[in-house]
Structure 1
Amino acid sequence: MIESLLVANRGEIARRIIRTARDLGIRTIAVYSEADAELPFVREADEAVCVGPASPAHSYRNTEAILDAAKQTGAQAIHPGYGFLSENADFARTVVEHGLIWVGPGPDAINAMGDKINARNLMAAAGVPVAPGTADPAATVEDALAAAQEIGFPVMVKAAAGGGGMGMAVAEDAAQLNEQYEKVRGFAERMFGDGSVLIERYYPRVRHVEVQILGLADGTVIALGERECSVQRRNQKLVEESPSPALTPEQRERLLAAAVRAGEAVGYRNAGTVECLFDPATGDFFFLEMNTRLQVEHPVTEAVFGIDLVEAQLRVAAGLPVQFDPAALTSRGHAIELRVNAEDPKRFLPGPGAIKTWVEPTGEGVRVDSGYAEGNVVTPNYDSLMAKVIVYGADRAEAIIKAKEAVAAFELVGPKNNLPFFAELMDNAEFISGDYDTAIVSRMR
């Protein structure tokens, strides 16, 4: 097993990784920015190194500072968490070249799936269903218009190098496509350094369903069930649950098999997620993207399968077998995750600030992965996620009741937060029925 681990991330995911590593007897090293010096993950690690000022570019994305911290502390491995450098193939390659263990898929797999157009083409070749769209970047707005005429409006305009719901816009007609193409391309150039644009069929009523895959050290790729992620604002997830209430057993079997093929097509190792769009009207699903890292919502999979995905990541990275029998794993019960963000519950605009009161809910079947504590300050420098509330019940109805109780019990004063939205959602008839889609939040607002 790995003996020392540097966690190249912050907040709740850094604490999450540190917790498992410590349980395994692994020495942990945190890296932190000047803005995060007082956060819990810094003091919970065995060692901590400041890697720069608040700006992510000068701290959490500062590859030189992070590698220096690894050398300084004698770290044997680096876990990137999610976001920041987690899907940076160049960084992964540099980590390996420095003789360190990278806790994630290989650089080639990250590269292959990092470009949405390349990923689409790879998946299509592997027999994974993809939505109608361009096989090559739309180099000009004229190319985009020609593709849209062939695909049929409405279309989704997407940054080929994007991820996490960023760099996407819907065009209902040619006039909107003219406008959105330039916006998406400009955004992609600024954010990702790559202005390549993909045009894809847009489905107005669709569900977002993803599959957790795990590439084992022996080369086997397994699927650990699916997660429903259709409660979203601005194409970014707020609530996830497992299993999806939308799928029949036959649809689930097809989806999981396709996800395994996706992983096998790129020789996938470690944890990853195959994201798909599911059309409830036809029962068809389409590949959306592959996230070559641990997902924010991984705890719902852990809850229904009774496993620790971070431990599995560490074991695979060390070349060891996992501690469970993949052939005997079964999903039991139902789990729901709520992302508690520092944002107002109506317009979902960021609302950072000092935390005056922070009392987490407790009880059987309730888990909270948090990045903050009372007295900390949520700054505007990073993502607004403060904590994740994960509940588990024998069935979906029980999980919803537990989620409602946990939201009511969470005492949070200071930053604006979306707990009132979750209270509303848990009473929403459409959500309770399980028959909802990615537009549910807009209908509530």
Structure 2
Amino acid sequence: MIGLQSTHRVTQTTATTICSNNIDVVLSIPELTQLIVKHLRTSDIRSGILVNRHWNQHLAPSLWYSLNTLLNPWQRHFRSYDRTDQPQPPDVAPFIRDMIARHGQHVRHVTVTWNIVLEALSANSGCIHLSSLIVGQIMYHSTTKPLTVKTVAEALPHPPETVLVSTDTTVTPLVQWLHLPWISNIKEYRPGVINEDLRRKITVERFWSLVRQNPGLVQLKFPYLGPMNDLSKEYMIDTLLALKDLRDLDLELTLLDARMLMRLFPKLERLRIYNLDALVILPAHEQYNHLRSLGLRTYVKLSNVLKVMDHLPGLDELWIQGVAVEPITELRAAVAFPRIVPKSPREAVALPLIRSLQIEETLLRDDESLALFVRRFPRLVEFRAEVNEATEDALWNHCYYLEVISGKRGIIERWKRRRFDDQRKQRK
């Protein structure tokens, strides 16, 4: 019996060893590891990296594929450094820089709101595999020490000798080498201290440095910073042209020419812009079939939106910040007549079949305008905006396929019941 038990233990141990070796082999293949990780929770991956060094080596990178400072544990780290009960709160920057230095090469998707994290990513020469970079609002941590002329070289994303020197001769010599060609400094800074305005400009430089070292970007959202518009348009366009796979571009408040972007990036599928003027005056023959989603980060006249949409036959999703006041007669004319004229009498005019419409801010005065506007979208499935009487009637009469309506609870049930009744009548 003892011999049998010993043999059983040896066999069991051998089987366990073989199984473990097989798992190690599987984890050594990156493609298989990625497939496995997709079915694991973050807590499971964290447990897996504690099994042994081999598992840690192959599973740890998956924890860093996505870096989002809006979520934990990043928020928890920043809150811990913001504690007011500490007489001298520590600087969070060294901790962030160390974490990014060790794991930045694994990052593929970035959503960053903290300047410290953006700085650390741009300073990491291994962070060159990003697919998405979403910045938007930028926050400066309260415990981070102010940059000085003496220490700012360490904060820059590249050595000073590689920074493009300003052509503006009015800049202070002490900080001239910090500038890209688009930044000028006509203010007197206190000796040894970089003021907040220049600090934001350096943040913009870090952003563009990170973009330039990641030519594989597919999704890009610009920072919500005024100095973005100080940069020469040629510099921005030249940098973007290196992004051959770019499909999703959000300009925030940066005033790039939207028409130029549509021409230079004909394969763009998603675009959010602030300035609509360049698209309103498009000639009749220009059409951009690839664009699927358009976002307008401003208050716009709905008649102008219709003019633009006549050039976007493939548009599926429309997002608008708010509705500007305009004469209702102008909107009626825009709704009734498409702007694009067919080249021949037999040629059909391709209009966008919008399925999703979202308007962030509406007022009661916009009700009649919205009621006219939605008539152009009979294939609408999702409507997210304030719903008042005239708009509700127009949606009921012209948008048969609606499945989502925000603003009034339970309102969508009317549409569902109507479609159900119609299907039941057809079966009879």
By percentage of residues, which structure has more strand?
1
By percentage of residues, which structure has more helix?
2
User: Same fold by TM (over 0.5)?
Assistant: no
Q: What TM-score range do you get, normalising by the shorter chain?
A: under 0.3
Q: Which has the larger radius of gyration?
A: 2
TM-score by length of 2: 0.27
